[in-house]
Structure 1
Amino acid sequence: MPDLVSKGTRGRFRDLATDSTVNVIATAFQDEGFAPNYESTYVDSSVRRQTAQHHMESVNWADEEQVARALRAIERIIEDFDQQYTSKFWTALEHDGYRRDPDTKRLLLRAPRSPFADETLSNLTDPSVIKSYLDRLHGAVDTDPELAIGSAKELIESTAKVVLNQLGVTFTKDDTLVQLATRAQESLRLHPKQAKTDGPDGSTGIKSILGGALGIATGVAELRNAYGTGHGRDRRPKGLGPRHAHLAANAAFLWCQLMLDTLADPKAPWRRNTE
């Protein structure tokens, strides 16, 4: 697993440690359960930077729970520092995917990273609608399976409409998710019956995957109708858990990424009909 906070960002904090004290640094980390790494080979002319580094080496920076505790310690250490000295650290932390409350300036949970490449979303006329559904799905997948399943369906539906809009293909408010998904795949020449070109896009393997993609949209729609939000129910669904939420979310990510990557690809087969 990759580090959730980069070495560069940790180095920014280590530099800030010179404006603290050894006692404050050690206490903040130890209160969060981190002892210094006594086997560290890091040596620094500043005992405060060295203390900060030795404690940071006890953190598993790929573990979300440990990172959350370490960041609480860091925030505590620099909470009274002048903003002009801490701005580079906060900027680096934002690049790692974290954010701060604009009003309280307190560190919030790690902002979820999009499963889609930046260039894929930047190709869209208005990527904000996709991002909003991604945020909603990420926020629910570990805590609310019903909402996650409903949000997975909405992400697929929104992506299909965005694709159709961008390609100038009409649809109506009465179209079902399966109808929208099928039309989007056909418009991008991603229907298995359209895979007749030479090379990988016409291969048997691609045809099988494209057929499966249609099944994903259908499956998520059926799962949402049975268990997801969007319908008033007289009782809570039984047996629903996080693994079902993750299944729906990952299925939606796969289908949407296929659509958006193909829409952005300058060499995709669908463009041959528009050139």
Structure 2
Amino acid sequence: MRRDVKAERVVLAVAKAIEAKFDRGDWLTLGYETGYADRVREHPRLLRSLDWNDDDYSGHVLDMVEAILRPSGRHIGAGPRRISTRAIDEANFAIVERMLGLSKWLAQHEPVLFSDIYGSRVADVGVDELQAAAKQLGLVDVDEHAARIRRGIRDDPAQAIGSAKELLETVLKAVLGLHGNGPETKKDIPYLLKQANITLGLDPAGARGSDPGAEQRRKALGALTNLVNSIAELRNAGFGTGHGLSQRPTLDVATARLAVSAAVTAATFYIEAHAAEQG
């Protein structure tokens, strides 16, 4: 999400997507995830107007989205109403963004709102494809990293690079079956990449080591590995979030985009290779 976007445009975009996609169960799920379940159930008209396809449903959706995304916003139910001047609640926005597949839906159905909220379509650096691949394997953690990358690539390159490194670690550990926070999971990216290649039979001695194009694939993976390793180095050098730095050096958006694009491409490849191996 762009830092300079008007909060009202975000509320409108989310409301339009919810009106098009949500059913009663989706509303209740959103309520439980954001802490607004009681307000969703107790709203005098929201779920009723949805069930009966009433003309006033759109207005009630806007009311509830305003309440969830801008917590000091409109009062729901009795009493006077006031409009909030507060910014969007980013935690709640991340939840609705994930539930709705918001950027993809806006790009297809509301391109003007997409541009207002996310900027250029190019900036998504393949995140939609990554999320689609991860969903097939049930890697739910990928959604959180992808959402942070999507928000950060334009406005907070350090956040995007930090999230890109975490994304790669999440995917590679999933391929290797390393779960939780035990000592066996404390591995760096070069080690994880090497072991993932062995696990998936992509190394020269592996099951896929003699496939047509295997040598060229290894060369491509080698080049990609160098890019991926540079992401970890950028982050460790202080260009990405982490390590508690108080005076962080800045990185230009073009370099951040290159690093993040490599991370997303690598993560998508390993997810799809893992899916093929399982299949």
TM-score bin, normalised by smaller chain: 0.5 to 0.7
Matched AA of 1:101: V
Q: Distance in 2 between matches of 1:228 and 1:157?
A: 15
Q: CA deviation at 1:105?
A: 8.6
Q: Distance in 1 between matches of 2:196 and 2:56?
A: 44
Q: CA deviation at 1:102?
A: 8.3
Residue number in structure 2 paired with 1:258: 269
Q: Distance in 1 between matches of 2:204 and 2:171?
A: 19
The CA RMSD over aligned residues, in Å, is: 4.1
Q: Structure 2: 5+ residue runs without aligned partners?
A: 20-44, 71-87, 105-126
Does residue 151 (structure 1) correspond to residue 142 (structure 2)? The answer is no
Alignment of 1:48-127 (within 5 A): 83=50, 84-85=53-54, 101=65, 103-104=67-68, 111-113=102-104, 114-116=127-129, 120-124=133-137, 126-127=138-139
Does residue 173 (structure 1) correspond to residue 185 (structure 2)? The answer is yes
Decide which structure has the larger Cα Rg and report it. Answer: 1
Residue number in structure 2 paired with 1:46: none
Alignment of 1:175-254 (within 5 A): 175-191=187-203, 194=206, 196-200=209-213, 202=214, 204-226=215-237, 227-238=239-250, 240-254=251-265
Q: Distance in 2 between matches of 1:159 and 1:102?
A: 35
Query: Percent of aligned pairs with the same residue?
Result: 25
Residue number in structure 2 paired with 1:27: none
Residue-by-residue CA offset, 1:202-236 (whole Å, 9 max, x unaligned): 2x321211212322321111111111111122522
Secondary structure in structure 2 of the residue aligned to 1:235: coil
| Structure with greater helix share of residues | 2
Q: Compared with structure 1, are the counterparts of its residues 130 and 117 closer, same or farther at alpha carbon in structure 2 (3 Å cutoff)? A: closer
Residue-by-residue CA offset, 1:58-93 (whole Å, 9 max, x unaligned): xxxxxx99xx69x67x97xx9x99652469999xxx
Q: CA deviation at 1:253?
A: 0.6
Q: Distance in 1 between matches of 2:68 and 2:244?
A: 37
8 Å Cα contact 2:172-2:196 kept in structure 1: yes
Q: Distance in 1 between matches of 2:246 and 2:172?
A: 31
Q: CA deviation at 1:121?
A: 2.4
Q: Compared with structure 1, are the counterparts of its residues 191 and 214 closer, same or farther at alpha carbon in structure 2 (3 Å cutoff)? A: farther
Q: CA deviation at 1:187?
A: 0.9
Q: Compared with structure 1, are the counterparts of its residues 234 and 180 closer, same or farther at alpha carbon in structure 2 (3 Å cutoff)? A: same
Q: Distance in 2 between matches of 1:86 and 1:191?
A: 60
Q: Distance in 1 between matches of 2:227 and 2:169?
A: 12
8 Å Cα contact 1:163-1:260 kept in structure 2: yes
8 Å Cα contact 2:228-2:259 kept in structure 1: no
Q: CA deviation at 1:154?
A: 0.4
Residue-by-residue CA offset, 1:139-179 (whole Å, 9 max, x unaligned): 21111111111111000011111111189xx9813311221
Q: Structure 1: 5+ residue runs without aligned partners?
A: 1-63, 91-99
Please give the TM-score of this superposition, normalised by the length of structure 1: 0.53
